[in-house]
Amino acid sequence: MTWPPSRVPQVSRSQRARWRHAVIWAAAGAVLLLVAGALGHFLVGAVGLLVSLVGAWVASPLRADPSLTHWDAQQRHVRDGAIVVYWRPGSLGCLRLRSSLRSVSDQILWVNVWADDEAAAFVRDVNGGAEIVPTAILRNGDALCHPSPDAVRADLQDRAA
């Protein structure tokens, strides 16, 4: 039985990417369990499977994400002059930027592009069709693709002055 076209659920590009990453995490854990089990290291395989299932859960679209939405962040950007950084779980560039800005992270609005389809569309629009993260929107409205932590800190210091 097929659904009428009006009832077919639409899955966005970001959601497909989240599912793909979740499946990769789970498959990697299963392979690790099989290899470790074949070598007689069942405990190592079980721990590896558990870690990979946690990674799959974090990457999956089933997990609710508490990050801001695109429109909430844009409103605060316009009203308060806050810096907005669009990020994605699992991105090494995002992880590096977030960890290097840990001391000022509470002054930055972080928007997960996998949790908000409008945020993903905005990032693609800003970056010529590519969903490149991290992308930062500075106080003056300039968009920086893969911003350096120093550029973000400099913009924050300009706001404080």
Distances (CA, A) of 149 to 4, 57, 81, 160: 49, 29, 18, 17
Q: Which pLDDT belongs to residue 160?
A: 62
Q: How far is CA 20 from CA 60, 67, 88, in A?
A: 8, 21, 14
Distance of alpha carbon 105 from alpha carbon 99, whole angstroms: 9
Determine phi and psi for 87, rounding to 5 degrees: -140, 175
Q: With contact defined as beta carbons under 8 Å apart, do 89 and 67 qualify?
A: no
User: pTM score > 0.75 for this model?
Assistant: no
C-beta neighbour count of 51 within 10 angstroms: 14
Average pLDDT for the chain: 86
- pLDDT of 24 higher than 90: yes
Q: Please say whether the beta carbons of 105 and 83 come within 8 A.
A: no
Q: How confident is the model at residue 2 (pLDDT cuts 50, 70, 90)?
A: low
